[in-house]
Amino acid sequence: MRARTVPQPGWSFEYLMWIFTRISGLSLLFMGFIGLVSALLLGARTQMDLPTLVRWTFFQNPNHVVNSNIADVTIGWSNAYWQIIQMLMIFFGVSHGFNGLRVILEDFIGHTILQPLTRGGIFLIWLFTMMVSIYVILAS
Amino acid sequence: MAVSKFTWLRGLGYRGGGPMLAWLLHRLGGLAMIIFVGMHIFAGFLMQQFGSDFGTTLNIFYESTIFQIILYFFVYFHAINGLRIIILDIWPKLLEYQRELIWLQWLIILPLYGLSVFLSIQNLLTGG
């Protein structure tokens, strides 16, 4: 591992991703909080056990709460609002994660021919993961 | 190649203390979460669309207690340590107290983590 050379100041790719990492990290914490509070307002305290509540807090998918005492998840727990929140969460989470993977790998690779190849490969895996997860969200 | 085997040994000998441990655990936790979330997305897709046995196997693997106990640590650490990094980025003057903040973050992480481990093991033993 060696130190990376710092590009010139300005709106570089690295700077944008640095800002995105902060914003997406805060958003994920905030959306987890929203999920937890909403679940409690929807009656989670008497309808589910703690592991179920934690699964819902991490990701607000109806499949996470379907094995509980909720009579009908389509009332409140499964609707377009939660689908949009899930897509936002997937976008922030997957992008944050693969960008982090890119940063770690580029620390080891340095400025060689492998760098653009790694970026391209990670971009393709990111795109594929986004498509698969949005398919799962829309179909669940 | 940029990587020689000696850099690893030198890295281990470098006595960075708390901040270095935080940096290392942040990266390891990030990688662990990429593996878990990636597995979960594909297992969910396979089970939902094809009712696949492979998806169910992956599901049993990451729902096992030992996997959850390891993952909980990394998730709590990555979340709280990331929040510390963001706070220090917004108020750089706090960098002076970075070691104290790292002690504070351990004081937040360890009780949360202990509670989660307790509940995970209780869940395992009671078969909930």
Instruction: Please report, for chain B, the start and end positions of each structural domain, with discontinuous segments joined by +.
Output: 17-126
Domain that includes residue A73, residue range:
13-139
The Cα–Cα gap between A122 and B96 comes to 36
Interface confidence (ipTM) of the complex: 0.85
Q: Is A87 inside any structural domain?
A: yes
**Residue B32: partners with Cβ closer than 8 Å, 6 or more residues away:** B70, B71, B74
Residue in B3, B30, B83 closest to A29 by CB: B83
* pLDDT surpasses 70 at A39: yes
3-state secondary structure of A4: coil
The residue of B41, B69, B116 whose CB has the most chain A CBs within 10 angstroms, and thus the best one to mutate to test that interface, is B41
Mean pLDDT of chain A, nearest integer: 89
CB contact under 8 A, B30 and A100: yes
Q: Domain tally for chain A? A: 1
- For the stretch A75-111, pLDDT in tens is 888 889 999 999 999 999 999 999 999 999 998 888 8
Mean pLDDT for A112-116 is 90
Predicted local distance difference test score (pLDDT) of residue B1: 45
Question: B82 to chain A: which residues are within 8 Å by CB?
Answer: 25
Mean pLDDT for A114-123 is 93
Architecture of domain B17-126: Up-down Bundle (1.20)
Q: Is A7 inside any structural domain?
A: no
The Cα–Cα gap between B103 and B80 comes to 12
Name the CA dihedral angle for A18, B91, A27, A93, rounded to a multiple of 10 degrees: 40
pLDDT band at A3 (very low <50, low <70, confident <90, very high): confident
CB contact under 8 A, B44 and A93: no
Residue pair A9/A18 in contact (Cβ under 8 Å)? The answer is no
pLDDT 10s digit of each residue in chain B, 128 long?
455 555 666 766 777 788 888 999 999 999 999 999 999 999 999 998 888 888 889 888 888 889 999 999 999 999 999 999 999 999 999 889 888 999 999 999 999 999 989 988 988 888 75
Question: A108 to chain B: which residues are within 8 Å by CB?
Answer: 2-3
Nearest to B71 by CA among B58, B62, B84, B60: B62
Nearest residue in chain B measured CA to CA from A110? B2
Does any CB of chain A come closer than 8 Å to the CB of residue B72? no
Does any CB of chain A come closer than 8 Å to the CB of residue B114? no
Question: A106 to chain B: which residues are within 8 Å by CB?
Answer: none
- For the stretch A47-73, pLDDT in tens is 888 888 888 999 998 888 887 888 787
Q: Is A43 inside any structural domain?
A: yes
Q: Is A96 inside any structural domain?
A: yes
Which ranges of B51-97 would DSSP assign to H, the alpha helix? 53-62, 65-90
